[in-house]
Chains A and B, each alone.
Chain A
Amino acid sequence: MGFVTPDYGTIFWMLIIFGIVLFILKKFAWGPILKALKDREKSISDALNSAEIARKEVAGLKASNDQIIAEARREKDLILKEARDIKDKIVSEAKKQASAETLKSIEYAKQQINAEKSAAINDIKIQVTELSVMIAEKVIRKQLEKPKDQEKLVEDLLKDLKLK
């Protein structure tokens, strides 16, 4: 049976050819191909990982978004409340100021009135005095129309003087 005894010529060529092919493929084919496969696997798993991270980040962002919205709402409420307070304060202050102003003007009016009154009173007093002086003058003139009355007055005055 010729074909079960290996032929050394075929062994020789097979050793050379297979050896060379093994070398060439190892250096120029399997190296790059296996490296490419590994790199691709790595890049795919990296991409998946980063996608996962991004997903988590987005979830985190959403949570923080909600937080921010809640914060904003709270702040809005706060601002509104503050505004309301300020408004109240302003209104009340204005009211207060207004009443004070009113009081002040009333006071001023009162003073004015008083001043006017006292002036008027003074005026009246002056006029009354003048009137009384006029009246007294007229009375005195009437009384001292006669020389006898004049003498009597001088005598009385003198009498008063003597007494002191």
Chain B
Amino acid sequence: MRYRMAQIIRSIALIFFTFFLLAGICRADETQQITEEGYVSKSFEAGKFVMEHVSDAYEWHIASFGETHISIPLPIILYSTDKGLNIFMSSKFHHGHETYMDFRIEHEGKNEGKIVEIDEKGEVIGLPIDLSITKTVAGIFVSVTILLLIFLSIAKKAKQRVNQAPSGIQNLFEPVILFIRDEVAKPAIGEKRFEKFMPFLLTAFFFILINNILGLIPIFPFGANVTGNIAVTLVLALFTFFITTVNGNKHYWKEIYNPDVPWWLKIPIPLMPIVELSGLITKPFVLMVRLFANMLAGHMIITVFVSLIFIFNSLMGVEAGLGVSVISVAFSVFIVLLDVLVSFIQAYVFTLLSALYFGMATSEHH
């Protein structure tokens, strides 16, 4: 059985490799064609398609039929010194085609994708402070609602069923909570101090996990690329950084400013302190980038596989598109399953590393 699994994985990897080569060639062909014929085609643009699916947006796009776009409008919140506070729905922009109250969504240039303020002549006069509820923020709201529903109901059950066996949803999540407590927090932070950090570790773990998994469900109100958005992972990493810094004890700071290394690494040039201080920043930075890159890559690969169908369709006709769709769908399914695994792994890794940093900040001796 195991041998057969290995064989299957190997053959899949082989197909993958050839496929990627093929895809590269095809894309090169496509760009050539467009430049030769010299028209801005209505044909399929894979890059734009992929980017649109992984990047943030002012509206929640559901489907398009030709020129008809179906999307959920989201609130736009803008503040500019001239016009003060403006709150309106993104449907006023008509999918970004129109200007509303001298605001418009730029489609090209250095402000691409942002809302700019314009004057009567249509000239850009500046960027308003933009606190809009974008697709990502709406996605956070959705996931957070689910998070609260799940865990408040578990807490209610936990209060009701004192010293009884867990039941239902409580049964589903308690092993995970116990795993975070016993396999992540306790070994990384230590028996004595781990309890203080449990709320953050659990919240971060389940927030990341739920967002990762909801991001894989392509149906509204799920499917927003939340953990693949660098602002979200930045805030998560900032929380880890903040908690680590606040809880850092004397030993922790001593290891940074005056580590146990030969003196010539500290005087006259404080080499090690500089390295240690930069480590202070790189740790959360790495946390941020790892989660962001993993989730973004997962989403991108899926959309790339889907867009391959349309690339082949526009290059070699409908038959080729249909033929490729079989393979594309198969690979997309494989990648989605892989992403389910990655969702768990990334949530675990983020939590484990945060716990390790907390452990380092609070440990007494090496």
Contacts and interface: CB of A to CB of B under 8 A. Distances in A.
A3 B202 contact: no
Secondary structure at the B interface, as helix, strand, loop or mixed, is: helix
Interface in A82-102: none
Contacts of A24: 148, 152
Interface string B130-156: 111110110011001001100110110
Contact of B177 (A9, A10, A37): A37
Contacts of B132: 9
B42 interface: no
B236 interface: yes
Given A21-B203, A24-B148, A33-B151, A10 B134 contact: yes
Given A6-B234, A21-B148, A34-B181, A14 B140 contact: yes
A36 B140 contact: no
A2 B177 contact: no
A161 interface: no
Contact of A11 (B155, B200, B235): B235
Nearest to B195: A34
Contacts of A6: 230-231, 234
A66 interface: no
Interface stretch (B1-9, B158-166, B328-336): B158-166
B232 A10 contact: yes
A139 to B, nearest CB: 136
Given A25-B202, A26-B203, A37-B178, A18 B239 contact: yes
B252 interface: no
A123 interface: no
A60 interface: no
A14 B202 contact: no
B96 to A, nearest CB: 14
Given A22-B200, A30-B202, A36-B159, A9 B137 contact: yes
> Is the interface on chain B under 10, 10 to 19, 20 to 34, or 35 or more residues?
35 or more
B142 to A, nearest CB: 11
A21 B239 CA distance: 13
Contacts, number: 125
A92 to B, nearest CB: 72
B54 A22 contact: no
A4 interface: yes
Interface string B109-146: 00011000000000000000011111011001100100
B207 A2 contact: no
B203 A13 contact: no
B307 interface: no
A10 B56 CA distance: 9
The 8 residue pairs across chains A and B that have the minimum distance between CB atoms: A36-B158, A10-B231, A26-B199, A6-B231, A29-B151, A14-B235, A29-B155, A32-B155
Given A10-B137, A12-B131, A29-B154, 7 more contacts: A6-B234, A8-B130, A10-B231, A18-B236, A22-B200, A34-B177, A37-B174
29 contacts: A3-B51, A3-B55, A3-B229, A6-B230, A6-B231, A7-B134, A8-B231, A10-B136, A11-B234, A18-B203, A18-B236, A18-B239, A22-B200, A24-B148, A25-B199, A26-B199, A26-B203, A29-B151, A29-B152, A29-B155, A30-B151, A30-B203, A31-B155, A32-B155, A32-B159, A33-B151, A33-B174, A34-B195, A40-B164
